[in-house]
A and B are shown apart, each in its own frame.
Chain A
Amino acid sequence: MLDLLRRGTRLVWGALSRFFSSRAVRKFFLTPTSATGFFLVLAFAVVAFLAPVLAPPRPGRNPYMIPRDSYLNEPQPPSKEHILGTTSGQYDIWYGMVWGTRTAFRIGIVVTFASALIGIVIGTLAAFYSRVFGEISMRIVDIFMTMPFLIAAMVMTTILGTGIDNVMVALIAFGWMTYARLARGDVMTVKDLDYVQAARAVGASDWRIITRHLLPNAIFPLFVMATMDIGSMVLAAAALSFLGLGAELGYADWGQMISFARNWMSGTVGSPLIFWYTIIFPGLTILLFGLGWNLMGDGVRDIFDPRMRGSK
């Protein structure tokens, strides 16, 4: 077990150090778009880390529940006390944005890693073992893909009930298929290459072939690429929250902050833009987060996926 752990660490460490000294990574940071993306995501990570400093929670309360001054319905404009104003129901927008960053990272990381892991395991096994198992699992993938992602997740949250955890389960349940397909394709390509055949010829076990040959050459790059989907997973969760199927009421979550704004977009007679702050601040936050991941993802794809090269 310890040996396995040490070997795993060395494997990851070797890949990482090769990764950071390579020409591709230098290119990543010298390209303005991908560098911008990286620093946007980094900025959000810092905000998430410093959340208790940037928006101190009231003592003794669950910090993820946004504090509210009163139960007044009408949003209040930015003031000294609430620097970005309050949204419908007097939830502080700044507080919701800052702690919502933590929620976003938690959803994004958990959902992406879990679905990538499930997908990669199924895809690898489908490629590696018998044709029958491979065919069956790919047909199951086809069937799961028949339902539009958002609608499938909607069905799932209707059945499970709302709440962040259920949203994550729903997104994982209908998010693993793409990874399974990619993993199967990548492993199929690699497993017929000479060095894998050679390993098999000298009598290496399946486990050894998977961990020593397929993992670093087919699966690790796919995993790195999967992390780039964190942005889109967060947007999907936000969409569910916007529909009222996501976070519980008052939970620090970007999608919910935007759903609060929904009823105020027509403004009042004579001043249609009066409640602009309820949508502009949360909207800008989500846009920058999504943009950061997408810009970074484009750069990473250029490095890792030769199929995408030249199609910029």
Chain B
Amino acid sequence: MLAYIVRRLLLLPVVLFGVTLIIFAMVQMVGPYKRLSLYVNDATLAHVRSSEELVRLVHKYGLDRPIYEQYAGWLNGVFHGQLGYSPTAHLMVQDALVKYLPTTAELALFSLIPLVFFAIRLGVFSAVRQNTIGDHLTRILAITGWSLPTFVAGLLLLLFFYKWFPAGRLSVWTIPIVNSPDWHTFTRMYTIDAVLNGNWRVFLDALRHMVLPIVTLSYISWALILRITRSSMLETLRQDYVTTARAKGLPERVVINRHARRNALIPVATVAGWTIAGLMGGVVITETIFNYPGLGRFAASAALQLDIAAVLGFALFNGLLLVTANLVVDVMYAFIDPRVRLE
């Protein structure tokens, strides 16, 4: 068990190192002047007026040196949390990421709720009632959900529900409240801060703006989770221990909830990593649709303005997040399923 976790932990830096290599290789496709924004560690780039100054900067940051030295220089910066300057945000990339992170984290946390409560339940329901009308409807729902891209689903939601659930993050009348000196900022997630401030009007307003993004974001993964839960549940229901439980005369509800469902959820845990990757891609699209000012919209608008430093910073951050998430999933998996530990 310990060896398994240690092996996983040792692999982490290797994979992350590989990610930086790929990103650095991709960036070599643009010229040194465009790459400059990756290296600077202050806002000097915003004040450059002449081409002589650019040449001087290229020399200063070593962009005219051999490629491995450039890589080492860049990696050193990344290692110290310096990701370059983003002209779109008028901030250093690492500061921009920190600024936008709570907004996105709030959205991502809330969108896990419908996944856990509806997708898994529907999957179990569909398997228990196999081949009934309810099962067929659920499956049709799943395959339609699988085929309708997020950006279409999100825009349709916006078309029909804009009146009740507007885009953006807060209403015009709420913004002065959160900017007033009486407002205590704890997490910069407005729903949580509102609860801590005891201000329910802000809480409801923030939530109202989040409803459609939450639905859109969770929708990306729920079709997948539903399908996997269903097929895994179907397999579990055929196991001997389920038959034994039934033979003991246990009520069907106990058989399903206690004996079958717990075991059926093990494979669902494996797709948790994919779900997180899907959520991160989904954040970019969802936030763009609903004009929700988080990391995703920042990255999308930076990409449109060819703000390489910001987009790369975002990608690196996502790589780190995904690698860590996969590690956590693997370790948890070993705890849940004894068969993994033995390998």
User: Does B associate with A?
Assistant: yes
**Contacts from A to B (Cβ < 8 Å):** 139-140, 142-144, 146-152, 154-161, 231, 235, 238-239, 242-245, 255, 258-259, 261-262, 265-267, 272-273, 276, 279, 282-283, 286-287, 290-291, 293-295, 298, 311-312
Contact with A along B141-172 (1 / 0, CB 8 A): 00110111111100110111011001100000
Q: Report yes or no: B311 in contact with A287, Cβ–Cβ below 8 A.
A: no
A151–B318 Cα distance when bound, in Å, is 8
A220–B151 Cα distance when bound, in Å, is 34
Q: Which of B14, B26, B147, B304 contacts A159 (CB 8 A)?
A: B26
Q: Report yes or no: B150 in contact with A266, Cβ–Cβ below 8 A.
A: no
**Contacts from B to A (Cβ < 8 Å):** 14-16, 18-19, 21-23, 26-27, 29-30, 143-144, 146-152, 155-156, 158-160, 162-163, 166-167, 231, 234-235, 277-278, 280-281, 284-285, 288-289, 299-300, 302-304, 306-308, 311-312, 314-315, 318-319, 322-323
Q: A290-B147, A294-B146 are in contact. List 9 more A-B contacts (CB 8 A).
A: A148-B280, A150-B285, A156-B26, A158-B307, A158-B308, A279-B156, A283-B155, A293-B147, A294-B143
Q: Report yes or no: B303 in contact with A158, Cβ–Cβ below 8 A.
A: yes
Q: Report yes or no: B319 in contact with A158, Cβ–Cβ below 8 A.
A: no
Name 27 A/B residue pairs within 8 A (Cβ), A-sorted. A142-B15, A146-B15, A146-B19, A146-B319, A147-B315, A147-B322, A148-B278, A151-B280, A152-B315, A154-B284, A154-B303, A155-B26, A155-B303, A155-B315, A161-B306, A231-B147, A238-B151, A242-B288, A265-B155, A266-B162, A272-B159, A283-B148, A293-B147, A294-B143, A295-B143, A311-B231, A312-B231
Q: Which of B29, B150, B312 contacts A160 (CB 8 A)?
A: B29
A152–B307 Cα distance when bound, in Å, is 15
> Which residues of B sit under 8 angstroms from A151, Cβ to Cβ?
280-281, 284, 299, 314-315, 318
Q: A144-B22, A151-B281, A243-B285 are in contact. Are A266 and B158 (CB under 8 A)?
A: yes
Q: A243-B300, A272-B162 are in contact. Are A143 and B284 (CB under 8 A)?
A: no
> Which residues of B sit under 8 angstroms from A159, Cβ to Cβ?
26-27, 29-30, 308
Q: Which of A143, A158, A261, A311 contacts B306 (CB 8 A)?
A: A158
> Which residues of B sit under 8 angstroms from A142, Cβ to Cβ?
15, 18
A93–B318 Cα distance when bound, in Å, is 36
Whole-angstrom distance between the Cβ of A139 and the nearest chain B Cβ? 7
Chain A CB within 10 A, most for which of B152, B234, B314: B152
Q: Report yes or no: A143 in contact with B149, Cβ–Cβ below 8 A.
A: no
Q: A148-B322, A151-B315, A243-B300 are in contact. Are A235 and B22 (CB under 8 A)?
A: no
Whole-angstrom distance between the Cβ of A18 and the nearest chain B Cβ? 29
Q: A148-B281, A258-B152, A279-B155 are in contact. Are A143 and B19 (CB under 8 A)?
A: yes
Q: Report yes or no: B18 in contact with A235, Cβ–Cβ below 8 A.
A: no
Q: A154-B299, A312-B231 are in contact. Are A239 and B285 (CB under 8 A)?
A: yes
Tell me how many residue pairs across A and B have CB atoms closer than 8 Å.
Answer: 148
A152–B281 Cα distance when bound, in Å, is 9
Q: Report yes or no: A279 in contact with B152, Cβ–Cβ below 8 A.
A: yes
Q: Report yes or no: A149 in contact with B277, Cβ–Cβ below 8 A.
A: yes
A84–B56 Cα distance when bound, in Å, is 56
Q: Report yes or no: B155 in contact with A258, Cβ–Cβ below 8 A.
A: yes
In the A-B complex, list the 8 residue pairs whose CB atoms are closest, starting with the nearest: A143-B18, A150-B281, A290-B147, A283-B152, A291-B147, A265-B158, A148-B277, A311-B231
> Which residues of A sit under 8 angstroms from B300, Cβ to Cβ?
154, 243-244
Whole-angstrom distance between the Cβ of A58 and the nearest chain B Cβ? 29
> Which residues of A sit under 8 angstroms from B234, Cβ to Cβ?
311
A187–B23 Cα distance when bound, in Å, is 31
> Which residues of B sit under 8 angstroms from A272, Cβ to Cβ?
159, 162-163
Q: Report yes or no: A243 in contact with B303, Cβ–Cβ below 8 A.
A: yes
> Which residues of A sit under 8 angstroms from B22, Cβ to Cβ?
143-144, 147
A151–B281 Cα distance when bound, in Å, is 6
> Which residues of B sit under 8 angstroms from A140, Cβ to Cβ?
18
> Which residues of A sit under 8 angstroms from B314, Cβ to Cβ?
151
A170–B153 Cα distance when bound, in Å, is 24
Q: Report yes or no: B281 in contact with A146, Cβ–Cβ below 8 A.
A: no
Q: Report yes or no: A243 in contact with B281, Cβ–Cβ below 8 A.
A: no
Q: A265-B162, A295-B143 are in contact. Are A244 and B152 (CB under 8 A)?
A: no
* Chain A residue, CB-CB nearest to B140: A33
